[in-house]
Each structure stands twice: as C-alpha cells, then as structure tokens.
Amino acid sequence: MTQALPKLFTFNEFIEWYPNDSKLYELHRGVIFEMPPPSGSHEKVIAFLSRKLTVEFDRLNLPYCIPKTTFVKTPSAESAYLPDVLLLNLENLDNEPLFQKYSTVSQAASVPLVVEVVSSNWRDDYYNKFRDYEEMGISEYWIADYAGLGGRKFIGNPKQPTIFVCELVDGEYQMTPFQGNASIVSPTFPQLNLTAQQIFDAAN
C-alpha cells in the first residue's frame, strides 16, 4: 500500500476527505493508505469465495448480504478497513449509526464473517486486521493466503498456500489452518462443502 497523506486522521476526517476518484483507501491507525490495484488472481479468489458463501446463506435463508464497498470501523483505533469479502447481517444495520450515510459498520453483530485475501502486504492481514477484528469481536475471520505469501511461522517452511479460519473463543481468535484437499470447517456455515484446494484453484 502507498501512504497517501502524512498527517494523522480521525475516522470522521478520513470519511469527509475521501475523494471520488475511483481509487480505494483505508485508514490504518490514523494513516490513510491508497490500496494497490488488485491482481486478476486476487479478484478471482474474492469472486469465488463470494459466490460460495452466498450459496450458503441463501440456502439457509439467512438475512445476510455481501456488499461491494463497506468500511469496517474498529472500536479503539482510528482504523477503517475495506474487507475483500464482508458478510453483513441486514437485521443489525438499523443499529449502525454510520451505515446509511457512509456505508460503514462498527458492531460485531453486523459482521458474521469477514475474509481477507492475502496480497504482498500480508502483515496487515496476519497482524493488524487480525488484532482489530478480534478486538471488535467479529466471530469468524478468514485469512485466504492462496499464494503462500505469509510468514513462515504461519504457513510453514517451505511456504504453503493456506486458508486460516479464525474463530472467536473467549474473546480471542483460535486459528485453524487448512491446506491441500482439507475441507474448510466454518463455525458460521457448518455444512459448507469447500476445500482449501478449491480456493487455491480459483486463482488460476
């Protein structure tokens, strides 16, 4: 990511500053970053996961949707993220004071599941967003490291493409890795029929 401006911003300053220039920006602890253009493989993984998850919540008749662009505002830090895949609970959006005007959610009850598809700035997904989504109380967070870019302490040496499902247990994320043909185990969608390899293959 490219740092856009040198000063520190509050969320309100960031959202009022946000330009209409077709570029995407995130706020990371008061610092505005311009998001780099995504690769084709990155977008194919996002599209694949969005489709698979949509099938699940449609089948279960759950009041969820996957928006195109919605910020997740963290509770204690001046941060606002644009997740790669964000499940919204439509039934809680009336309780979100920023949603109607700014397409922004700040309550865990609005976010059943969030997915970050790892790119070159992998530390954001494994450290910063992991910490902030955990503190926010989001019950399920996936780190989709389809290209094996993360740190060796996470995905092994040699590095292996890995999907992490992080489940909130007693206020802390418990990380479960899935590689190869292992079936993804999702607390939100216990009947999900999806393997890690299917996600990796979607990038090709």
Residues 98-117 have pLDDT tens digits of: 999 999 999 999 999 999 99
* C-alpha to C-alpha distance for 29 and 8, rounded to whole angstroms: 8
123 occurs within a structural domain:
yes
Largest CA distance in the chain: 47
8 occurs within a structural domain:
no
φ, ψ of residue 199 in degrees (nearest 5): -70, -45
- Sequence-ordered alpha helix ranges (H) in the chain: 11-17, 40-59, 99-102, 122-123, 129-136, 152-155, 196-201
133 occurs within a structural domain:
yes
Identify the helix (H) or strand (E) that includes residue 174.
Answer: strand 172-178
Q: Is the pLDDT of residue 12 over 60?
A: yes
If 0-12 CB within 10 Å is exposed, 13-18 middle and 19+ buried, where does residue 76 land?
exposed
Q: Is the pLDDT of residue 176 over 70?
A: yes
Residue 75: per-residue pLDDT: 83
196 occurs within a structural domain:
yes
Residue range 30-81, pLDDT digits in tens: 999 999 888 999 999 999 999 999 999 999 999 999 999 999 999 877 899 9
pLDDT tier, 175 (very low <50, low <70, confident <90, very high otherwise): very high
25 occurs within a structural domain:
no
Q: Is the pLDDT of residue 1 over 60?
A: no
95 occurs within a structural domain:
yes
Residue 4: per-residue pLDDT: 53
Query: Which range of residues forms the domain containing residue 50?
Result: 39-201
* Beta-strand pair 113-117/140-145: parallel
24 occurs within a structural domain:
no
Residue 14 neighbours by CB under 8 Å, 6+ apart? 25, 27, 32, 78, 80
CATH number, domain of 64, equals: 3.90.1570.10
Q: Based on the structure, what is the number of domains in the chain?
A: 1
Q: Is the pLDDT of residue 83 over 90?
A: yes
Average pLDDT estimate for 8-34 = 93
